[in-house]
Amino acid sequence: MLEHPMRSSDNPEWVGAVWVGQIDLSDVTSAPAGSSFGLSGGPGYRRARFLVREGQTVRGFVTVGIEEGQVRVDELRRAAEELPAAVPEPEPFRPPISVVISTRDRGRLLREAVGSVLASDYPSFEVVVVDNAGSTSETRDVALGHSDARVRYVREPLAGSSHGRNRGLRVAAYEHVAFIDDDVVVDRHWLTGIARGFGRTPRVGLVCGLVPSGEIRTRTQAWFDQRVTWAEARHPRVYSLSSPPPELPLFPFQVGAYGTGANNAVARRAFERVGGFDVTLGSGQPTMGAEDIDLYVRMLAAGYSISVEPSAITWHRHRSDLPALKAQARGYGTGMGAWFTKILFTPSLLRLALPKVPGAVARMRTIARGGSSNPESTDAEFGLPHGYTASLGALEMRSALTGPFRYAQACLGRLRNHWRSGTGTFGWNRRPAPRPAPREMGAWPAARRGDPAAGAAPLRDPPRREPPG
């Protein structure tokens, strides 16, 4: 029936708030004509957005009205009938998968994220919780408080999401490793979708899933929802440098077409070959972001493919107020500027980037307007103060100008870590793992390195040059 994946005890804050859920098409078609579906947590909402699925296949999104906390079946059925038909999908191979969650002092969100992964219908997986330079015991308490032995805990003392994710992969048991943020809730079929993405072609080194808004309770969340493209893919797609998509003029740098770091997975061999997440990028570093898009482009430049898999869904809770949105815009801009700086000093990436400069300039002009061709009308649509959308765009561009300085700061910090303790490298954390303890680190099963019986990756390395960096 109806599912409300990301529950909140807070009421909607404005008249345009949207209740978010999902439903299987069979429940819509089998419901009696003239009946209604009741919504849990629906008071105060006037509209509802549903992700419509047919089994594990995503059909698309529909928006319908709410009357007295209910949606009419007939209206929902008419909207669903307009969605594209489902394409039959082959049953995916099902290798065991390690799920890595790098987090810092956000126990409530972490508990919800871990719980959603443990509720997955996937037959074989583990959850590696990385305590990334935490200042309290909160993360450890949540991870080791689970009775489920599939949850493991490891501490990474070096701050930064890239350090945390690299650390998680190093101790992960399996050849396929998925990464999510602590502010998401995964769909129960998420890991099945991840596995299906790896089975698209033998050269898939990375899979990105859908990241729809799990909550549109405030005008700020609604504004962010209409700007991002994380949930626009409706059909599976495989991207590779050998077959540039003509509709993406900035490819392979048009990273919004792939996804976001809140929902992706890697084949271990490909990840290690390209150097993992760059520890000079990402949250927790002066650069504040861009570690995910940097990894995507390096994967493509190394000859691997990226599979976009709509059936691999994580629901994301966006920033809910204007100060948080400003902080996010500042982080996006800083990360973008830092990443551009890295490209300038990476010859193999620079060769790919130079032909895209005119298109990139046009894209930055759009960003400077807050991602809108008419920022004033956007302000009016979402009830924001006059000029707010444009001010966010200007803030993002100003922050991008600080990117080179922030990137230099991060590089110096990386060098200090390297020379002081031997723990930091240019690409990813190569520190030897300490001796494992029960639940804390965990043992490395035979499946970790290519055991065919354990479902090791059928990844075929591309016959290309060594990866950049």
Tens-of-pLDDT digits for all 469 residues of the chain?
A: 678 888 776 788 888 899 999 999 999 999 999 999 999 877 789 999 999 999 888 999 999 999 988 999 999 999 999 998 888 777 778 999 999 999 999 999 999 999 999 999 999 999 999 999 999 999 999 999 988 999 999 999 999 999 999 999 999 999 999 999 999 999 999 999 999 999 999 999 999 999 999 999 988 888 888 877 777 778 899 999 999 999 999 999 987 788 888 999 999 999 999 999 999 999 999 999 999 999 999 999 999 999 999 999 999 988 788 888 889 889 999 999 999 999 999 999 999 999 999 888 887 877 777 666 678 888 888 888 888 888 888 899 999 999 999 999 999 998 888 777 654 444 444 444 443 444 665 433 434 444 333 343 457 667 554 444 3
Under a CB-based contact definition with an 8 Å cutoff, are residues 65 and 82 in contact?
no
- Which residue, 120, 123, 159, 154, is CA-closest to 140? 154
**What is the residue-wise DSSP string for 284-345?**
TSTT-S-HHHHHHHHHHHTT-EEEEEEEEEEEE----SHHHHHHHHHHHHHHHHHHHHHHHT
270: enclosing H helix or E strand: helix 268-274
Residues 6+ apart with CB under 8 A from 5: 20, 21, 22, 116, 185, 187, 214, 315
Buried/exposed code over 380-415 (b: 16+ C-beta within 10 A; e: otherwise): ebbebeeebbbbbbbbbbebbebbeebbebbbebbe
Work out whether strand 184-186 and strand 305-316 pair parallel, antiparallel, or are unpaired: antiparallel
Q: What is the pLDDT of residue 224?
A: 85
Prediction pTM value: 0.89
Residues 6+ apart with CB under 8 A from 245: 239, 251, 257
- Mark out the alpha helices in 63-125 (DSSP H runs): 73-81, 107-118
| 172 phi and psi angles, rounded to 5 deg | -65, 145
Integer angstrom CA distances of residue 118 from 107, 148, 185, 190:
16, 8, 11, 11
Residue with tokens 């302000």: 379
Under a CB-based contact definition with an 8 Å cutoff, are residues 367 and 400 in contact?
no
Plot region of 296 (φ>0 → left; ψ -120 to 50 → alpha; else → beta)? alpha
Rounded distance between C-alpha atoms, residue 178 and residue 433, angstroms: 20
Residue with tokens 């049953």: 91
Residue with tokens 């807050």: 370
Using only C-alpha atoms, what is the Rg of the chain? Answer: 22
Residue with tokens 């956000």: 106
Under a CB-based contact definition with an 8 Å cutoff, are residues 392 and 220 in contact?
no
Integer angstrom CA distances of residue 341 from 138, 293, 320, 416:
36, 14, 31, 20
Under a CB-based contact definition with an 8 Å cutoff, are residues 270 and 206 in contact?
yes
20: enclosing H helix or E strand: strand 18-24
Is omega for the bond preceding 252 within 30 degrees of 0, making it cis?
yes
Q: What is the pLDDT of residue 440?
A: 63
- Which residue, 46, 59, 57, is CA-closest to 90? 57
Q: What is the pLDDT of residue 458?
A: 56
> Domains, the chain, ranges and CATH?
18-81 (no CATH), 97-321+425-454 (3.90.550.10), 322-406 (no CATH)
- Which residue, 110, 124, 132, 127, is CA-closest to 185? 110
Under a CB-based contact definition with an 8 Å cutoff, are residues 207 and 264 in contact?
yes
Q: What is the pLDDT of residue 289?
A: 93
Rounded distance between C-alpha atoms, residue 8 and residue 29, angstroms: 29
Report residue 463 as tokens: 């016959």
Q: What is the pLDDT of residue 419?
A: 78
